[in-house]
Chain A
Amino acid sequence: MAKSSKNIQPALKFNIKYAPAPESVSAASINEQYNLFINGKFEKPLSKKYFDTINPATEQKIASVAEAGTADVDKAVKAARAAYNGHWGKMPAKERAKYIFRIARMIQERAREFAIIESLDGGKPIRESRDIDIPLAANHFFYYAGWADKLNYAFPNRNVSPLGVAGQIIPWNFPLLMAAWKIAPALACGNTVVLKPAETTPLTALKLAELIQDCDLPPGVVNIITGAGETGAALVNHPDIDKIAFTGSTEVGKIIQRATANTHKKLTLELGGKAANIIFEDAPIDQAVEGIINGIYFNQGHVCCAGSRLFVQESVYKEVLQKLKDRIATLIVGNPLDKNTDVGAINSKQQLQTIQKYIAIGKKEGAEMFESSCALPNKGFFCRPTLFTNVAQSSRIAQEEIFGPVLAIQTFRTDDEVIEKANNTPYGLSAGVWTNKGSRIFNITTRLRAGVVWANTYNKFDPVSPFGGYKESGFGREGGLHGLNAYVK
């Protein structure tokens, strides 16, 4: 291992202070209270209940949001069914496409407002919501709009038809983007939907409801109902739903799979992950370090495909670790609305507690912790970018999904060893490989049991590219041509 004697560059001295560059919230309009979007109108909940959604960076209330009860869910499903049996089901595909194109265009037009609200409600850095979440959401609608009248080309020798009414449940880590991933292909294939956003991040979905109203989409085609787990359960268990699409934890995914076991409902699940990010000794190290940072600290690590397990070849371990620590020290943690912020607020108090629990477990299990020395804001839910070394393969922080900015680092010597370790997990959503050698990339990618493999890059998403997992990371794909399959029969 020739590189073991290589001089490691001294730690980067990085004392630049950034002046605050806060995004103005005046470009966004938010109501004090939101009702349920059913049959093209905002309706007061029959449950008469409301809950608060807060800004996780300040712990202040932003708005109160309706909590859909069983009767509200039923109303929404009925509206979706009526729309499916009525105008939407009979509309020529090319006209359906035009509505979806409208949604895409209008998201582009209102992108800044969406970005601000996404960061306010969910805690993610404005740089990410502005440059990643919102443009990708718009592009997703744009891409699937074009498929509406071309489905016969996507399914050779099959004459496909829509499923009917889709119930869709999405998580809080990419609220608008996940709504787009769910709604766009469903509509393109001719279904109608009832979507439930996560209870901590309902606002951009509700802004999407307003936008859909402004697009004159026929009533009932898209219904958006807010609430927590009980609302989701009512949706899953509703007898007149033809399809459930769920993105969230593996634990809840299994409950849903059981709940739909004896029904006609088709199911797709996009669940948790514990991705291996593998660094070979011939990798472009500086790029790889950026990839590791992006892999685990992007969106505070609230990413199902986060590169939360790092495998570094022994010969470059010291160098990678040092550079990683240096780079972590430069990450700016704080106000999500500041354009300089790299790591924003943890989405909720509950999630912060989960992350802290795992950090304690990691220490207790004998792993060595390193965290950024950055100061954290006094209010709000924040967590320093953290990594663990000396992590055993059996350690819980190497086995379980933490869903936070916590990286577990292990080393390896040979290809076979790292493949064995990387695949030794119940999950199989994604993985990363870093090497300068193309033939090795394909060797490794063919052997990794994961639905998405990034080579010399990480956390890349595109509407044309399918996404989804192997094993307990779920089944079905979202995005691309393959994403259509979840919404046709």
Chain B
Amino acid sequence: MTERIDVLKTYKLYIGGQFPRTESGRYYAVKNANGKLIANMCLASRKDFRDAVVAARSAFSGWSGKSAFNRSQILYRIAEMMESRRTQLIDELLLLGYKSVDANNEVSAAIDRMVYYAGWCDKYQQVFSSVNPVASPHFNFSVPEPTGVVAIVASQQSALIGLVSAIAPVIAGGNTCVVLAAEQLPLSAISFAEIIHSSDVPAGVVNILTGKVSELLKYFADHMDVNAVVTYQLTNQEMQLVKEKSALNVKRVVEYNAISWLDDTAQSPYFITDVQEIKTTWHPIETVAAGKSGY
């Protein structure tokens, strides 16, 4: 009996709801511990990043304009899709050298994390908004609103859970994002893109690149149409670059360091509010007759 030959998967980028190869035509090899090639990954370029920002910006008004309830349903749908592709996600972690039990735990934690943030979509506003009892006759209230396009440098030490934990709070809050996956652990990122793609998430809300932090970091930080940069576990030198470049258009810089990904401390609504603005609205209250002076 002849042995069946496997069909190998081509890993590409995820930009604007499509899976293009890098415009640069470049690649880098990901190998396992024995030095065997696992996949050729796209080595994303500055132009790929810029295309991704354009896609994220054009998706922003639609995504941030959806009802919180709708975003909640969509994030939950992502979790459903992750659960149904559980085996694929585990297999890819095994390919990268994970132990079976670790792979299982990481995938379970990643799915639960998505459910966790699905729940927050229509709740963080209730926790972090306020009605402000100003002294003048005004109804005055403050609510969080998404900051816009968020560039994320995902943890370089985590294949799946780090990526999911970085993306979920950003989109739960109505932002769109461009994410640089872990350079040496990139397979799960592209499979996660396929999950996003089949989960009712509008094109452009999540864009995922594979490539080198050393090459792309400065572009993440100095792009004029990016509103915030979120980084995980970068060196002091790298952070200095990010902070300096971010001053160009006053980006919000959010820096996370050591995180125990599987732990509950790796999730909280503060990951959402870190990329939110606060908007305060004043509205007069008529004081004729016996009207009260405020709320």
Contact = CB atoms under 8 A, between A and B. Distances in A.
| A and B associate in one complex | yes
Interface of A: 94, 97-98, 101, 139, 142-143, 145-150, 153-154, 414-416, 419, 437-440, 442-443, 446-447, 463-464, 480-481
A150 B123 contact: yes
Contact of B122 (A143, A415, A447): A143
7 contacts: A146-B119, A153-B123, A415-B289, A416-B290, A443-B285, A463-B69, A481-B123
Contacts of B68: 464
Central interface residue in B119, B283, B284, B292, by most chain A CB within 10 Å: B119
Nearest to A437: B286
Given A142-B72, A442-B139, A442-B295, A147 B289 contact: no
Contacts of B127: 153-154, 481
Given A145-B119, A147-B119, A443 B288 contact: yes
B107 interface: no
Contacts of A98: 115
Contacts of B294: 446
Nearest to B269: A153
Contacts of A94: 112, 115-116
B174 to A, nearest CB: 15
A101 B76 CA distance: 9
A13 to B, nearest CB: 39
A98 B111 CA distance: 11
Given A145-B119, A443-B288, 6 more contacts: A94-B116, A149-B116, A443-B291, A447-B291, A447-B292, A464-B122
5 closest A-B pairs by beta carbon, nearest first, are A146-B119, A443-B291, A439-B286, A443-B286, A442-B285
A109 to B, nearest CB: 12
Central interface residue in A143, A442, A480, by most chain B CB within 10 Å: A442
B61 interface: no
Given A153-B127, A440-B286, A480-B126, A446 B119 contact: no
Contacts of A143: 69, 72, 122-123
Given A153-B127, A439-B283, A480-B126, A97 B288 contact: no
Nearest to B125: A464
A438 B284 contact: yes
B142 interface: no
Contacts of A439: 283-286
B118 interface: yes
Q: Is the interface of A mostly helix, strand, loop or mixed?
A: helix
A439 B293 CA distance: 11
Nearest to B285: A442
A149 B116 CA distance: 8
B123 A438 contact: no
Nearest to B122: A464
B289 A443 contact: yes
A254 to B, nearest CB: 31
Interface of B: 68-69, 72-73, 76, 112, 115-116, 118-123, 126-127, 139, 269, 283-292, 294-295
Nearest to B117: A146
A289 B118 CA distance: 39
Contacts of A414: 289
Nearest to B284: A439
Given A94-B115, A97-B115, A446-B285, A464 B76 contact: no
A89 B127 CA distance: 26
Contacts of A145: 119
Nearest to A154: B127
Contacts of A464: 68-69, 122-123, 126
A329 B119 CA distance: 45
A445 to B, nearest CB: 9
A94 B120 CA distance: 13
B157 to A, nearest CB: 24
B248 to A, nearest CB: 35
Contacts of A154: 127
Given A139-B69, A437-B286, A146 B123 contact: yes
A148 B123 CA distance: 12
Contact of B295 (A148, A419, A446, A463): A446
Nearest to B69: A139
A101 B69 CA distance: 13
Nearest to A440: B286
A442 B286 contact: yes
A142 to B, nearest CB: 7
Contact of B289 (A148, A416, A442, A463): A416
A307 B76 CA distance: 37
Central interface residue in A139, A147, A439, A440, by most chain B CB within 10 Å: A439
B287 A443 contact: yes
B291 A481 contact: no
Contacts of A415: 288-291
Central interface residue in B68, B112, B121, B269, by most chain A CB within 10 Å: B112
A472 B287 CA distance: 29
A437 B285 CA distance: 10
Contact of B118 (A146, A148, A416): A146
Contacts of B285: 439, 442-443, 446
Contacts of B115: 94, 97-98, 101
Nearest to B73: A142
Contact of A146 (B120, B139, B290): B120
A153 B118 CA distance: 16
Contacts of B292: 443, 446-447
A446 B291 contact: yes
Contact of B72 (A146, A419, A442, A480): A146
Central interface residue in B68, B72, B123, B269, by most chain A CB within 10 Å: B123
Contacts of B289: 414-416, 419, 443
Central interface residue in A101, A153, A440, by most chain B CB within 10 Å: A153
B235 to A, nearest CB: 33
A286 B127 CA distance: 37
B117 to A, nearest CB: 9
A143 B291 CA distance: 35
Nearest to A98: B115
A298 to B, nearest CB: 22
